[in-house]
A and B are shown apart, each in its own frame.
Chain A
Amino acid sequence: MLQVSKLNAWYGASHALQDIGLEVTKGEIVCLIGRNGAGKTTTLKSIMGLMGRTRGSVTFRGEELLRQPAHVRFALGLAYVPEERRIVQGLSVRENLRLGLVASPAKKREAELLDEIAVIFPRLAERMDQEAVTMSGGEQQMLAIARAMIAKPDLIMLDEPSEGIMPVLVDEMFELFRSMKAQGTTVLLVEQNVELALGIADRAYVLDQGSVVHQASAQALLADEEIKERYCSV
């Protein structure tokens, strides 16, 4: 479904990604792990079209994305939940959710899709008309995920969804990722909490200093103390 090959990206003069190659097939949960600064977020941003200078190839369902702007990548079925969540200040929970539909053909079924989301995220359903940024960090993260999911993308990219969130909400969230997978959504996940992430992932890529240094099934990686020690310990 998603194929990345020889992907390079730069922040100004600094060469942040060097020949990244990875692949995500339909229905999988694939995890990117590695230390801070290894290039995980930059990889997601490059796939979504948020990096200024990139080179290489990113194809999604057979279409080359790298020269396409972000909004076209969304239209092709890619969704991205940034690490900072980017909940829009001054808008209610409902308006933030509606924002996930404004550019989608699914906008016509807005009422129905909002009801569906309310069932999946009961915490948000209770707070629909509250200003979104007054919610707790965990609830805002749920909202950011719900906003990206509401238009039913084919592949959703999540950057550090568990960061700074109460453990009970993290469990709830990972349960949600499992059920998303069961319903056919493909997930590309960046996560600091390696054990938890590998627990739900099918496969994982290990990044270090802007390159892929290892790839394996999640199970194999869970058992591989040496790799985890070398590339993932903080």
Chain B
Amino acid sequence: MAGLSFDLIALQLFAGLALGAIYVLFAIGLSLIFGMLTVVNFAHGAFYMVGAYVGLYLISIGGNFWICLVAVPIAIGLFGLAVERVLIRPLYGRGIDYPLLLTFGLSYVMVECVRIAFGKTGYPFDTPEVLQGAVDIGVGYFPLYRLFVIGATAVVLLALWLFLEKTSFGLIIRAGARDPQIVRVLGVDVSRVWLIVFGIGTAIAGFAGLLAAPLQGVIPEMGGTILAEAFVVTVVGGMGSIGGAVLAGLLVGVVVSMTSLFAPEMAKVSIFALMAIVLIVRPQGFFGRAGLMS
């Protein structure tokens, strides 16, 4: 274990937080959509992947990363609105498996379309120039772009928190996730709220895909891997709980990062081991409510 200094571990912890930040962004959208619509969105990874490709495309036609940070979530959010309105809405009231199967199929269609448009092989995604290099964070040099990912995630979380806690629409979402019927009785057109929540969730997925692109490049299958890992995050955090998704996302990021330092061959397995342990101790996850799926 020589060479595993405190600084190295601390740096690896930060790397875990950056990785976790992407999980958090991915999982809060998944959780928001499940908590409100009871739709398990299997296409969430595809929205994430398309977000990265839209960023790639915008940069190829002369845009820059900063424009992408605004344009990608808007584009993916609008796409999400269309998907909810046209494909998912007719399936409400038919049980949880209908939208699940639909989004599962949709994800294949989206991946295939991207393969046709951009080819099967991946592309590198350049880190924006001002975010290249590393900065001294006290325990050593840490890639500036990863710090940016953590910061951007914090900004999105803060904005989402303010939106949910301080606005009337946020109040409707919090109440509607618990009891859609009473919200309807109090005059709210719940189907409109569902539409917007789906748009917000997919917009954040697209944003996460864009943020992840400079870290790992862009390939059509990038959404599949993170989807599986993000399900671990939502299960550990508690289905439908946003606070749980944040805590569990960071935890999963750190666990993956730490196991890849001490036992790299175990890194992929470690998160499923974590899930198994959490499920044995606390079947509903950190902040989940029991019986949500029934």
The 8 A CB mask of B137-178 against A (1 = contact, 0 = none) is: 000000000000000000000000000000011011011001
Contact across chains for A98 and B168 when beta carbons are under 8 A apart: yes
Q: Check: A89 CB closer than 8 A to any chain B CB.
A: yes
Closest to A98 in B: B171
**Shortest distance from the beta carbon of B184 to any chain A beta carbon, whole Å:** 5
Residues in B with CB closer than 8 Å to A50 are 181, 184-185
Q: Check: B183 CB closer than 8 A to any chain A CB.
A: yes
Contact across chains for A71 and B184 when beta carbons are under 8 A apart: yes
Contact across chains for A88 and B175 when beta carbons are under 8 A apart: yes
CA distance A120 to B284 in the complex (A): 41
A99 with B175: in contact, given A86-B182, A107-B168 (CB under 8 Å)? Answer: yes
Residues in A with CB closer than 8 Å to B184 are 50, 69-71
**Shortest distance from the beta carbon of B167 to any chain A beta carbon, whole Å:** 10
Contact across chains for B172 and A88 when beta carbons are under 8 A apart: no
**Shortest distance from the beta carbon of A208 to any chain B beta carbon, whole Å:** 27
Of A74-82, A174-182, A190-198, which binds chain B? A74-82
**Shortest distance from the beta carbon of A75 to any chain B beta carbon, whole Å:** 6
Contact across chains for B182 and A82 when beta carbons are under 8 A apart: yes
Contact across chains for B171 and A95 when beta carbons are under 8 A apart: yes
CA distance A86 to B183 in the complex (A): 10
Residues in A with CB closer than 8 Å to B1 are none
Of B96-104, B105-113, B125-133, B186-194, which binds chain A? B186-194
Q: Check: B7 CB closer than 8 A to any chain A CB.
A: no
Residues in A with CB closer than 8 Å to B171 are 91, 95, 98-99, 102
CA distance A71 to B168 in the complex (A): 16
A71 with B178: in contact, given A99-B171, A102-B172, A107-B168 (CB under 8 Å)? Answer: no
Closest to A81 in B: B185
Q: Which of A190-225 contact B (CB under 8 A)?
A: none
The 8 A CB mask of B51-76 against A (1 = contact, 0 = none) is: 00000000000000000000000000
CA distance A102 to B168 in the complex (A): 6
Contact across chains for B179 and A71 when beta carbons are under 8 A apart: no
Contact across chains for B186 and A100 when beta carbons are under 8 A apart: yes
Contact across chains for A89 and B178 when beta carbons are under 8 A apart: yes
**Shortest distance from the beta carbon of B239 to any chain A beta carbon, whole Å:** 15
**Shortest distance from the beta carbon of B242 to any chain A beta carbon, whole Å:** 12
The 8 A CB mask of A107-143 against B (1 = contact, 0 = none) is: 1000000000000000000000000000000000000
Q: Which of B182-217 contact A (CB under 8 A)?
A: 182-190
Contacts A69-B189, A91-B178, A102-B172 supplied; 12 other A-B pairs, CB < 8 Å: A50-B184, A74-B185, A86-B179, A86-B182, A88-B182, A89-B178, A89-B179, A99-B183, A100-B186, A102-B169, A103-B188, A107-B168
- Which A positions have Cβ atoms within 8 angstroms of B? 48, 50, 69-71, 74-75, 79-80, 82, 86, 88-91, 95, 98-100, 102-104, 107, 147-148, 151
4 closest A-B pairs by beta carbon, nearest first, are A103-B187, A74-B187, A86-B182, A70-B184
Offer 21 A-B interface pairs, CB within 8 angstroms, sorted by A: A50-B181, A50-B184, A69-B184, A69-B189, A70-B184, A71-B187, A71-B190, A74-B186, A74-B187, A80-B185, A91-B171, A91-B174, A91-B178, A95-B171, A95-B175, A98-B171, A99-B171, A99-B175, A102-B171, A103-B189, A107-B168
